[in-house]
Structure 1
Amino acid sequence: MGTLLILVAVIAFIVLATARFKLHPFLTLLLAAFLLSLLSGLPLADTAKNISNGFGGILGYIGLVIVLGTIIGVILEKSGAAITMAETVIRILGPRFPTLTVSIIGYIVSIPVFCDSGYVILNSLKQSLANRMRVSSVAMSVALATGLYATHTFVPPTPGPIAAAGNLGLESSLGLVIGVGVLVSAFAAMAGLVWANRFKNELPDGEGAEELLEKAEEFEEMKQSYGALPSTFNAFAPIFVPIILICLGSVASFPTLPLGDGHTYEILNFLGQPLNALLIGLFLSVRLIKGKNKLEVFSEHIAAGLVSAAPILLITGAGGAFGAVIKATDVGSYLGMTLSGLGIGIFMPFIVSAALKSAQGSSTVALVTTSALVAPMLGDIGLGSEMGRVLTVMAIGAGAMTVSHANDSFFWVVTQFSKMSVPQAYRAQTMATLVQGVTGIAVVYVLTLILL
């Protein structure tokens, strides 16, 4: 019981340090690992060792995957591939379902590109469509934001879900995580779309709302700034080829060996390893780079990707360190047995993740911290199987979107670019993320009844 109280106090420290004092999550999680180790009475000689092993262990499994996925996202963003993806969806769906169109665009683009960046890139396209189709820009903004948000919290190679999968020992099962993530995120995106459609007749009431009528011209200017846009195949290939390879590798590695154990299995198993698959995606992304100095531009994009990946790597590693210390204490088994008696099962990681998300704002921090926290207790609450751990990642992802409000940078990106006032954004965007999160955990719960 004493160790449990210490853990609660350390979690309170994480929330207070990140939310109130704005301390960087990397340092916060690292300090939390030291505090938990010292206060729990673990041997002093083992403290640094446990933390170092936890930090290096998680990054050894998943660090390079995060780096490669981030670099691919940067190249897709800088090359105009995201615009090509968006225009492809518009060509397929046409102008009949404007909010559905931007939701699907966001859903696809946010798999490789961070949701904040994705919204900035697609904002003028969204507003151009709203003006042309005479649809409320509030509804269009929420539809785009919730589409982006759905895959951001559920589908690898987005860093948050990858880090959570690594903490739960699923680094070799990312294909399964992707497959289940696509399903759960589709329901979350649809829930966000339904909520967005409630605002079809509402105009933005924030400062500068009248400027939105000029956005149609801005989109054409932005599109021209990219020069010749990539082809549809070249735009989609760097992200969808690796995802397909990872999924094929997972199928080939099923215990029943559906593709046999010969050369086909060996090739698909090799290509389906997340690191190998994303390396292929990185090479495919080179085709998106224009101009004579392709190698130089490619190096610049790699440098930008490393800068973007660095904070995520540090937070992920610190989360792994925190998780290693939790595993070294007896709190995991104690909590597992206690929670098992309560019968809340899959709802426990959702509640913890939602509390952390709402308190400190970062979905990635919520995913990393919660996955490190619950990893030692999954066996005791009946989620220790491979599918149980996959569904735990989904439950944590659902919590990590519940809710986006004033302490979340994405909330301000949506609010400022859509010219909504803060009260309007709370009604439209924040409530949409609540609906998404609740829908997500409901779908995950149904899946536990079917699959576990």
Structure 2
Amino acid sequence: MNLVLILIGVIAFIVIATSKFKLHPFLTLILAAFIAAFAYGLPSGEIAKTITTGFGGILGYIGLVIVLGTIIGIILEKSGAAITMADVVIKVLGKRFPTLTMSVIGYLVSIPVFCDSGFVILNSLKQSMANRMKVSSVSMSVALATGLYATHTFVPPTPGPIAAAGNLGLESNLGLVIGVGLFVAAVAALAGMLWANRFADVEPDGEGAQELKAEASDYETLKKSYGTLPSPLKAFAPIFVPIVLICLGSIANFPSAPLGKAGLFDALVFLGQPVNALMIGLFLSLSLLKGENKISEFSERISQGLVTAAPIILITGAGGAFGAVLKATPIGDFLGTSLSALGIGIFMPFIVAAALKSAQGSSTVALVATSALVAPMLGDIGLGSDMGRVLTVMAIGAGAMTVSHANDSFFWVVTQFSRMSVKQAYKAQTMATLIQGVTAMLTVYVLSLVLL
């Protein structure tokens, strides 16, 4: 029982430090690792080594993937590729189903681009479509936000799911994570869109709501500000080519060897390694650069990507350190045995991630911390197989979107750009993320019954 009380105390420290005292998650997780190490009685001479090994171990592979994915996302964002993606979806789906169109746009754009940035980029498009189709901007905002949020929490190369996969030992199985993540994210996005439809006749009631119609023309201005937009092929290639390569690499590695053991197999295994696949994506993104001095522009985008990726990498490393300490203690075996007796299995990671997300606001922190926490006990609760670990990542992702409210930066981006009052945003956006998280978790549970 003392083992559990110590763990509860460490989790409480993480929540209070990050939510009440606003301590940076990186330092919070490192301190949590030291606190857990001393509390569980690890030999004092081994504590520093365990923490540094855990920190470096997770970043040795995942760190480069996070950096490359972030740089590609920055290039797509700054080049107008996200606008091209949106235009393609509008042409394909037409204007008959406005909330579905916005949800699909968000779903696609947030694979390479952070959901906060994606909403800002697409806000004027959303408002323009709302005015043209005579649909409430509240419903369009929620549809866009939930579409963005779905792939943000489930689909690599978004940093949160990548970090969780790394903590759970799935570095070489990211293709499987992507495949399952795309499906679970689609269900979550659909749930968010259906909730958004409830607000089809509800207008925003926040400050500046009357100015929204005037802002609709900003979409054309925004498009012009990018100059000549990239073609659909150039816009989609840097992210979808790596995803396809990673998935093919995972298929080639199946025990049944569907692609043989030589020739094509060797090529796909090499190209399907996430670092190699994302390097190809990075080279494909070079065609999106527009300046006269493309080398200088490329260097600038790399610098911006490094600045964006740095805190995520540090948080991921700190989560690895925390996880390494927990793995060195008996808590994993104890909790695994106890939870197996309770029979909650796949729901446990969801509950922990949802508690962390709701308490401190960051989906990435919830994904990193929860995956580090549950990694030592997966074998004991029947989730030690590759598919069990993949579904655990999905369960953690479902928790990491439950719920987005006032302590989440994305909540404020959606609220302010949509001109919703806080009360209205809680009804529309916060409830949407709750419904998304619960629906996604139920989907994961059904998948666990079928696949495990």
**TM tier, smaller:** over 0.9
- What's 1:408 paired with? 408
2:150 counterpart letter in structure 1:
A
**Cα shift at 1:3:** 2.2
Partner of 1:355: 355
Counterpart in 2 of 1:148?
A: 148
Matches within 5 A, 1:422-441: 422-441=422-441
Alpha-carbon distance in structure 1 between the residues aligned to 2:431 and 2:353:
17
Structural mapping, 1:142-221, within 5 Å? 142-221=142-221
- Superposition deviation, residue 215 in structure 1: 1.9
Alignment of 1:211-360 (within 5 A): 211-360=211-360
In the aligned structure 2, how far is the partner of 1:276 from the partner of 1:226? 30
**What is the aligned partner in structure 1 of residue 393 from structure 2?**
393
For residues 325-347 of structure 1, the C-alpha deviation after alignment (integer angstroms, 9 at most, x for no partner) is: 00000001100000000000000
SS where residue 238 of structure 1 aligns?
helix
Cα offset, 1:291, TM superposition: 2.2
**Offset, 1:140:** 0.1
Structure 1 residues 58-137: aligned runs within 5 Å: 58-137=58-137
SS of alignment partner, residue 414 of structure 1: helix
> Residue 258 of structure 1: SS of its match in structure 2?
coil
Tell me, in whole angstroms, the C-alpha distance in 1 between the residues paired with 2:426 and 2:291: 44
Q: Distance in 2 between matches of 1:136 and 1:44?
A: 60
Equivalent in the alignment of 1:12: 12
Paired with 1:155 and 1:18, the residues of 2 have a C-alpha distance of: 25
Q: Distance in 1 between matches of 2:303 and 2:40?
A: 41
Any idea what the Cα deviations from partners look like across 1:346-395, whole Å, max 9, x if unmatched? 00000000000000000000000000000000001000000000000000
Which amino acid letter does the alignment assign opposite residue 195 of structure 2? W
Question: How big is the shift at 1:61?
Answer: 1.9
Larger mean Cα displacement after TM superposition, 424-433 or 2-11:
2-11
For residues 194-242 of structure 1, the C-alpha deviation after alignment (integer angstroms, 9 at most, x for no partner) is: 0000000000000000010012211111110000000000000000000
Q: Please, what TM-score do these two structures have when normalized by structure 2?
A: 1.00
Amino acid at match of 2:436: Q
AA in 1 matched with 2:175: G
CA distance in 1, matches of 2:272, 2:20: 43
Superposed displacement of residue 403, structure 1 = 0.1
Looking at structure 1, the residues matched to 244 and 132 of structure 2 have their Cα atoms a distance apart, in angstroms, of: 36
What is the Cα deviation at residue 431 of structure 1? 0.1
1:416 Cα deviation from its structure 2 partner: 0.2
Runs of 4+ more than 4 Å apart = none
1:120 Cα offset (Å):
0.3
Task: Measure the CA separation in 2 of the matches of 1:428 and 1:128.
Answer: 20
> How many Å separate the matches in 2 of 1:173 and 1:37?
30
Give percent identity, aligned residues only: 76
For structure 1, which runs of at least 5 residues remain unmatched after alignment? none
Whichever residue aligns with residue 225 of structure 2, its letter is S
2:26 is the counterpart of 1:26: yes
Q: Distance in 1 between matches of 2:253 and 2:41?
A: 42
Partners of 2:152 and 2:417 lie apart in 1 by 19
- In structure 2, distance between residues paired with 1:28 and 1:378: 24
Task: Report the AA paired with residue 355 of structure 2.
Answer: A
1:13-38 CA-to-partner distances (Å, cap 9, x unmatched) read 00000000000000000000001001
User: How far apart in 2 are the matches of 1:5 and 1:320?
Assistant: 22
What is the DSSP-based 3-state SS (H/G/I as helix, E as strand, rest coil) of the residue aligned with 1:173? Answer: helix
Distance, in Å, in 2 between the alignment partners of 1:253 and 1:318 is 30
Letter in 1 for 2:146: T
Residue 384 of structure 1 is matched in structure 2 by 384
Amino acid at match of 2:111: I
Distance 2:39 2:352 in 1: 22
How many residues of Structure 1 are paired with residues of Structure 2 in the alignment? 452
* Separation in 1, partners of 2:159, 2:321: 17
Residues in 1 aligned to 2:216 and 2:411: alpha-carbon distance in whole angstroms: 23
SS state at 1:9 partner: helix
Distance 1:5 1:415 in 2: 38
Q: CA deviation at 1:6?
A: 1.0
Query: What CA deviation, in whole Å up to 9, does each residue of 1:64-88 have, x standing for no partner?
Result: 0000000000000000000000000
Give the whole-Å Cα distance in 2 for the aligned partners of 1:315 and 1:259. Answer: 38
Counterpart of 2:348, as a letter, is M
What does the per-residue CA deviation read over 1:152-178, in whole Å, with 9 as the maximum and x for residues that have no partner? Answer: 000000000000000000000000000
- Listed as ranges, the gaps of 5+ residues in structure 2 are none
CA shift, 1:7, in A, is: 1.2
